[in-house]
Amino acid sequence: MTIHRVIRKVQRFQGWFGGGAALCLMVGLYLGLIGSPPDYYQGEVVRIMYIHVPLAHTSLLGYTVLALGSLWYLWKRDPIVDNMCQAVAALTAVFTALALGTGMIWGKPTWDTWWTWDARLTSFTVLLLILIGYLMLRTFVDDPEKEARYGAILAIVGFVDLPIIHFSVEWWRTLHQPQSISMRGVSISSGLLVPLLFMSVGMSLLFSYMLMVRTQLLYLDRLLHAKKGRLLSQFHLSKSDS
Amino acid sequence: MTNLYIRWGGLLIVTTVLIVLTYHHYRDNLASLVPQEVRKEAPTGEIRVLGMVQGGTLKTRDAGEATFTLLGKSATLPVHYQGPPPDNLRELKILILIGTWNAATQVFEARDIGIVPNYGFIAGAYLLGLLPLALFLFAMTRRVNFLYEEIKASKLYEEE
């Protein structure tokens, strides 16, 4: 089964992704804002975790999809996959920027600063810059095939930032707390974990839903341009014949 | 396109209702007073008071009791807390106290001590996290609908 068939099959369930995202996010917001207890040390402000962490997780997931899609594109040259890569890059850039923004808001009451050049924060900013660079590259190159190829190479090279982000809190002494959920176990109480899981699943479903809408948007945009271009060239050809 | 606006209009109404209900919940249950308001209004019943523990006033006893002065902008409140003092109870720390104001003894009887809730930061983070996503999704869905209509109107669509 080719990858674009998989994409088409998954897109049939677009509505389910949207509905599932809305449901999970509503439950997650209720549990996170009202139903969960405040943290012993951070107090109520810990509730920012339920929006910040899912946004950050989804950004990393988005970039992984972008890197895998880019690899697939370089191998198979499937334009549908390239379309998805372009869509996923824009969405990941938005999610990354929002993760950084909500992190800054959380940093002020807990660290007493909006920003610090901490390893986790810096590597995450580098991710945003890579994504902005990717999106700029996709608008600068005229030839669509070259544009897709250069973009895919940049996305694969940029993937090196992901392990740096992941291990930054272990490799360097940072202000950012270490991971609460890892292979070593879960170091977070269930009262705080349940809303976090609901929000994380909800945010991933929302990301998938938005990805389907954006892939569809880019496809229709290209289709319209291609068909308009074809009609225009037919018109010019008929003019020159007559 | 009309269906899109109806769907998103419905979502907007539901969101507005939820925000209003949350605001009322906050105002009725979570809003706090400052020491000068307690002095001025002498409220009865359980209240929440926000202020800083004045330096040099905190006295704790082994039996599980603490007394200190809570500092506001233009007034102070003597506070009595019965129970094991929490780790967050330190001098010069801004705290929120839950308890009752005893007008006869002019002492605030604290039942619970918590750190500053920072509701503004929480609201700001959720608005920043969710509002741009909703707007972005709305703009994309609107554009998809517009493209479908344009393709149909310009007779460019062909059944494959």
Higher pLDDT, A219 or B136: B136
What pLDDT is attached to residue A10?
Answer: 73
pLDDT at B55 over 60: yes
**Does residue B157 fall inside a structural domain?**
no
Percentage of residues in chain B with pLDDT exceeding 90?
36
Instruction: Give me the residue from A45, A216, A228 closest to B144, CB to CB.
Output: A216
Q: Binning pLDDT at 50, 70 and 90, where does residue B159 land?
A: low
Is the torsion defined by CA of A161, A165, A168, A171 positive or negative? negative
3-state secondary structure of B51: strand
Q: What is the CA radius of gyration of chain A?
A: 21
pLDDT at B46 over 60: yes
**Does residue B81 fall inside a structural domain?**
yes
User: Which of B17, B121, B145 is most worth mutating to test chain A (most A CB atoms within 10 A of its CB)?
Assistant: B121
Average pLDDT, chain A: 88
pLDDT at B56 over 60: yes
What pLDDT is attached to residue A239?
Answer: 64
- Whether residues B51 and B105 share a domain: the answer is yes
What pLDDT is attached to residue B151?
Answer: 81
> Which letter does DSSP use for residue A34 in this model?
I
Higher pLDDT, B147 or A63: A63
* Cα–Cα distance, A187 to A209 (Å, whole number): 31
Could you tell me which residues come within 8 angstroms of residue A140 by beta carbon, excluding any fewer than 6 positions away? none
- Whether residues B71 and B96 share a domain: the answer is yes
* Cα–Cα distance, A70 to A55 (Å, whole number): 22
What pLDDT is attached to residue A105?
Answer: 96
What pLDDT is attached to residue B43?
Answer: 87
pLDDT tens column, A193-204? 999 999 999 999
pLDDT tens column, B93-112? 888 899 999 988 999 999 98
The whole-number average pLDDT for the span B66-83 is: 90
End-to-end Cα distance, chain A: 47
Domain that holds residue B15: 2-25+119-152
Higher pLDDT, B116 or A31: A31
Cβ of B147 within 8 Å of Cβ of A109? The answer is no
What pLDDT is attached to residue A28?
Answer: 94
- Whether residues B87 and B103 share a domain: the answer is yes
- Whether residues B110 and B44 share a domain: the answer is yes
> Domain total for chain B?
2
> Which letter does DSSP use for residue A39 in this model?
B
pLDDT at B160 over 60: no
Amino acid at A51: I
- State CA B76 to chain mean position distance: 24
* Cα–Cα distance, B125 to B34 (Å, whole number): 25
Q: Name the residue with tokens 């991971």.
A: A179
The whole-number average pLDDT for the span B133-137 is: 95
- Whether residues B40 and B103 share a domain: the answer is yes
Which residue of A lies nearest to B142 if distances are taken between CA atoms? A217
**Does residue B158 fall inside a structural domain?**
no
Provide the shortest C-alpha distance from residue B45 to chain A (in Å). 23
The reported pTM is: 0.83
- Whether residues B45 and B105 share a domain: the answer is yes
- Whether residues B100 and B139 share a domain: the answer is no
- Which token pair is B80? 């009595």
Cβ of B121 within 8 Å of Cβ of A228? The answer is no
Reading chain A (242 residues) residue by residue, the pLDDT tens digits are 566 676 677 778 888 999 999 999 999 999 998 888 888 778 889 999 999 999 999 999 999 999 999 999 999 898 889 999 999 999 999 999 999 999 999 999 888 899 999 889 999 999 999 999 999 999 988 888 899 999 999 999 999 999 999 888 878 777 777 777 666 666 778 888 999 999 999 999 999 999 999 998 998 888 888 877 776 666 666 666 65
Domain range summary for chain A, segments of one domain joined by +: 3-179+188-233
- Whether residues B106 and B69 share a domain: the answer is yes
- Whether residues B49 and B105 share a domain: the answer is yes
- Whether residues B106 and B138 share a domain: the answer is no
Residue B75: CATH number of its domain: 2.40.50.140
User: Which of B32, B133, B142 is most worth mutating to test chain A (most A CB atoms within 10 A of its CB)?
Assistant: B133
- Whether residues B82 and B104 share a domain: the answer is yes
- Whether residues B130 and B147 share a domain: the answer is yes
ipTM: 0.86
Which residues of chain A make contact with B144, given a CB cutoff of 8 A?
A: 213, 216-217, 220
